[in-house]
Amino acid sequence: MRLFPVLAVLCALSQPLAAQEMTALARVDGGPSKISDGWFGRATLELHLSQGVPFRVFLLEEPARLVVDFREADWTGITTADLLPEPGRVTGLRFGPFQPGWSRLVADLAEPMLPDEIGMPVDKASGKATLEISLKSVSPEAFAAAAGAPVDPSWTMALAAAPVPPPPPGSDRFRVVLDPGHGGIDPGAEAGGLTEKDLMLSFALALRDTLMRDGIDVVLTRDTDVFVALETRVAMAHRAEADLFISLHADILRQGGAKGATVYTLSDEASDTATEHLAARHNRSDIIAGADLTGSDDQVAGILLDLARQETEPRSGAAAKALVAGMNAAGGPMNRQPLRNAGFSVLKSADIPSVLIEIGFLSSERDLDNLRDPIWRAVMVTAIADSIVAWRDEDAALKPLIRQ
């Protein structure tokens, strides 16, 4: 693993941090803000804020990205088209909440470029601030030498170790970890004014309440609109000592006119091309958010993991079948091939049965209508909760047999 020298700029404001925290969020003003190409291999980013905030800038490679983290910035109402009306040397842009108290902007770069000017002048009279970054084309070597996430232990810790409540006392209680897909800077699918991240959060909260009424203990990988890295989601399931991990999604999938609820389990080989694409897209979500966690992969002996997987795989499969049966009985509608598999990173716990549910696809008009309908959602929540209970009992009954 290569470690690159860090290009990080922490803006030192005249006020101390504590004083900054007392103030309101800095609003991003989409009107005058803009990212545009300049002459001679240049691009500039100009972001207008209602007040100055601490920020940092760094670069990531493969693919080349510029990342800016802001303390307490509010992006409400700003669209990508506001800031990037015409993709050029900056080909794509995402922004939004990242960690509690921090938001992030990630700009995809068409070519290797380095900032040669970074500043945030604050207007004395109005208090308004402008973040100005000027980028200039450089060689791939120069880019590689400058790229790398800042080494900031407190930041890395926050990314890698979201707090998980310990299992309840006398803990043979069944515990489910619910994982609302996407979040924060990563909205997931967007259609008809809805985002996958918001839909799945409210669905997960409703499912949690229903499961808790059934006496099941529930931990969420996120209960607000924040970004959670895939590794962190898996790590949280382990720390929670989960009996079952369920990732919840409602993606856009154009291939094959995907529609209807579908349950996915982990496998090295994808069941079909559409699923392979879906998994590949999800596995890139850390890259999309500029949260490339290097070296956090478990280097545990492969044989041990394989043994654990041998036992877990059929249990994940049985959980998926129970969920399909339950949702189907509740009226679905189900996908024409409701059980599928692929190499989803978020399902790679060796010892926790894990499934990913596409409750519906936002690319399907019918599914979109269903997902909008509170009654349909309530029926699906109940169906999924009942399926979890059914699988728990079935799995418990099989346990003595497996141990023989």
Residue closer to Zn ion by CB (options 112, 188) is 188
The backbone torsions φ and ψ at residue 358, rounded to the nearest 5 degrees and listed phi first, read -90, 105
CA dist 238 and 255 (Å) reads 34
CA dist 283 and 306 (Å) reads 21
Minimum CB separation of residue 191 from Zn ion in Å reads 12
Task: Tell me which residue of 250, 253, 247, 251 sits closest to 273, measured CA to CA.
Answer: 253
Minimum CB separation of residue 186 from Zn ion in Å reads 9
A 10 A CB-CB count for 384 gives 26
Residues 6+ apart with CB under 8 A from 267: 341, 342, 343
Transcribe 101-164 into DSSP letters. TEEEEEEEESS-EEEEEEE--B-TTT--EEEEEEEEE--HHHHHHH------HHHHHHHH----
Total residues in contact with Zn ion, by rule CB under 5 A: 4
Minimum CB separation of residue 230 from Zn ion in Å reads 11
Residue closer to Zn ion by CB (options 181, 317) is 181
Binding mask 251-290 for Zn ion (x = CB under 5 A): x---------------------------------------
Residue closer to Zn ion by CB (options 94, 249) is 249
Chain positions 83 to 122 lying near Zn ion, rule: CB under 5 A, are none
Residue 58 identity (one-letter amino acid)? F
Q: Which stretch binds Zn ion (CB under 5 A): 74-82, 115-123, 147-155, 250-258?
A: 250-258
Binding mask 187-226 for Zn ion (x = CB under 5 A): -x--------------------------------------
Of positions 249, 340, 377, 392, contacts Zn ion by CB under 5 A: 249
Residue closer to Zn ion by CB (options 243, 367) is 367
Minimum CB separation of residue 145 from Zn ion in Å reads 35
Task: Tell me which residue of 222, 194, 196, 197 sits closest to 208, measured CA to CA.
Answer: 222
Minimum CB separation of residue 63 from Zn ion in Å reads 20
Residue closer to Zn ion by CB (options 150, 187) is 187
Residue closer to Zn ion by CB (options 52, 188) is 188
Transcribe 5-29 into DSSP letters. PP-------SS-HHHHHHS-PEEEE
Longest Cα separation, the chain = 77
Say whether 335 sits in a helix, a strand or coil. strand
Pairing type for strands 190-191 and 194-195 reads antiparallel
Residue closer to Zn ion by CB (options 217, 231) is 231
Residue closer to Zn ion by CB (options 131, 191) is 191
Binding mask 149-188 for Zn ion (x = CB under 5 A): --------------------------------x------x
Residue showing the smallest CB distance to Zn ion in the complex = 249
| Residues found near Zn ion in the complex (CB under 5 A) | 181, 188, 249, 251
